[in-house]
Structure 1
């Protein structure tokens, strides 16, 4: 006999395992004033592998086909508790198969993304891309945008960046998770995405592929990263000073923007538009800076 309560707990546990925990933006006290008054230390958790990634594009049709071909065939028999146990078995089997299918499709997509950026990784290998990134970030912050960098300050600003090349090879996305701490106390936690299109015509990637990014040991890619670093620092300063834009409630709307040959639609709040870039907050509270090609509705 299978008891109902433990079975329910098992089902909920399986469902929970199918989703990863996303970063939740958080801000406490007034970190902007604290950093400017007391200074801060910088920590950067970065690696060459995370700075050269491909956009993992999950094919919905493949997911559907995989699900159809591997649906568990379980026959329920008996009565009473036996019937309940059999039905529960089908549910558990369905959840397990669904998660397995999702993992397989995502694994295939990840392999495709790895193959996509393999030449770029080869071009930047041995150039110390991770060290270069940290140096550029520290140089950007040395301007005093967040306050003065003080090695013995009790406040720490930690950066965890990663970068992705768009699937069409005509755009780049710099994603940075930032945490501000005082000892073990977290004063701020947020995620900033900076998107940029390549300098060349979007349709050119159809014929020239990855080649423009590879020139001079990946210098065009580093130039795009440099621009992303500057914009990330600017957006972070705005986020800290505004307490995650607490006084800018905005109106949730459908945001549309283009990047290279790609067109994107998502829900969020438009926070600013300075004529060059648009900054908006997605439904998860993440901040995204995109070129001014954005249109809203």
Structure 2
């Protein structure tokens, strides 16, 4: 394999292995004061499909098994030719196979999650869930907590929400990426994740399954989305007012919390804990609000 071809192949391999760039929180000037003084326009990017998703759980063991099974194939394909070309071929092949394995395992996990929530998607199909959610969001913003909504304002507040039903049907998750911009200048960028427990007892969820969420065209699911939305906007107001919690203690902690049948352990900074909900910032600067009390070590 010639050097130019190796270089091209390596670039393609690395490009294929790169994941989509994750949102990086950003805050500039004093957005809270600007919104209150000049108001803002609202833009919502939402679809029914993104509001009804399953919790994707990637099987790490399956990824390891596939990597072990494909490694000998890559090694054999790299034999022959010069040592440099062979080594480069093995490296590029390994990168491509690794990316392919990750994509396949993640795709299978996504398909399984979609199958789990298929009845919920059927229950909400044709009901205008996306327009309903946008209306709920705009109604909450009209209360004026962040400032007045003005069509003529030069400031644009953009929301990109997506929601998931927990793998055990005992929780919901609303993830919203939010951007405040002035023309092409981004003044604020944040990601807020709000988790909510099912409104029925956790010890009955395993027996009931998905059925309670489907009643009255999935009204319980809508109620959960609304509650998570209200909490999202509460956190957004806090984030804007505090300059992304600039004065919060900087010590990282191990945070443990329960949600339905799930037990979770994460690293982050605990920002608030009122006994009902805990708010923390993970190592990427993303904000997460969870019900119940998060224990910190």
- TM-score for both structures, normalised by structure 1: 0.94
Q: In the alignment, what sits opposite 1:113?
A: 113
C-alpha separation in 2, matches of 1:101 and 1:196:
32
CA RMSD of aligned residues (A): 1.7
The 3 A distance-change label for structure 1 pair 125 and 60 is same
Distance 1:54 1:206 in 2: 16
Looking at structure 2, the residues matched to 93 and 125 of structure 1 have their Cα atoms a distance apart, in angstroms, of 43
Q: Using the TM superposition, give the Cα deviation of residue 203 of structure 1 relative to its aligned residue in structure 2, in angstroms.
A: 3.2
Counterpart-to-counterpart distance in 2, 1:92 and 1:253: 39
Which whole-Å CA distance do the structure 2 matches of 1:183 and 1:20 have between them?
A: 25
What secondary structure is seen at the aligned counterpart in 1 of 2:99?
Answer: helix
CA-to-partner distance for each residue in 1:39-82, whole Å, 9 max, x for gaps? 0111111111100000111111111122222222335345xxx1
Unaligned runs of 5+ in 2: none
Stretches of structure 1 that go unaligned for 5 or more consecutive residues are none
Corresponding residue of 1:74: 77
Distance 1:126 1:263 in 2: 35
TM value normalised by structure 2: 0.94
In structure 1, the partner of 2:284 is 284
CA distance in 2 between counterparts of 1:235 and 1:191 reads 10
- Kept in 1, the 8 Å contact 2:157–2:181? The answer is yes
Q: Does the CA-based 8 Å contact 1:161-1:176 persist in structure 2? A: yes
Measured after TM superposition, the shift of residue 141 of structure 1 is 1.1
Distance 1:288 1:40, change over 3 A: same
Deviations 1:65-100 (A, max 9, x none): 22222222335345xxx1011011011111111111
What are the superposed Cα offsets for residues 155-176 of structure 1, whole Å, 9 maximum, x if unpaired? 1100000000111111100000
What displacement does 1:8 show? 6.7
Matches within 5 A, 1:30-41: 30-41=30-41
- Comparing 142-151 and 9-18, the one that deviates more: 9-18
Query: Which residue does the alignment assign to 1:170?
Result: 170
